[in-house]
């Protein structure tokens, strides 16, 4: 199996798009609300962060999740970072 190094370009077209996110404890629809470079990251292809916004409930535990967007799916490690009565925000860091 060949593993491809993801880059920020794999996600910029997903910005503001609905994504189906499947985790061990459930599947929810989230919106990719942020795609930003991380300056000075040492990884091939450059570092970047993704921010997803999902429903307030359920709050999915940090885990490797399958994020399916407009042009494919990627398994990435996603962590919840904030929650309020309206939504829960999640982050994935590629450093």
Alpha carbons 69 and 77: distance in angstroms, whole number: 16
Residue pair 23/65 in contact by the 8 Å Cβ criterion: yes
Q: Confirm or reject CATH 3.30.460 for domain 8-94, answering yes or no.
A: no
Per-residue model confidence as pLDDT tens digits over 12-69: 999 999 999 999 988 999 999 999 999 999 898 899 999 999 999 999 999 999 999 9
Single pTM value for the model: 0.92
Domain-wise residue ranges, the chain: 8-94
């Amino acid at each position: 199996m060949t593993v491809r190094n993801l880059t920020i370009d794999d996600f910029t077209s997903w910005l503001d798009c609905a994504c189906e996110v499947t985790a061990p404890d459930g599947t929810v629809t989230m919106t990719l609300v942020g795609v930003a470079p991380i300056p000075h990251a040492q990884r091939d292809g450059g570092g970047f962060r993704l921010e997803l916004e999902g429903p307030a409930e359920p709050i999915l535990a940090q885990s490797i999740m399958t994020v399916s967007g407009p042009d494919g799916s990627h398994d990435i490690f996603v962590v919840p970072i904030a929650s309020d009565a309206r939504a829960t925000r999640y982050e994935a860091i590629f450093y």
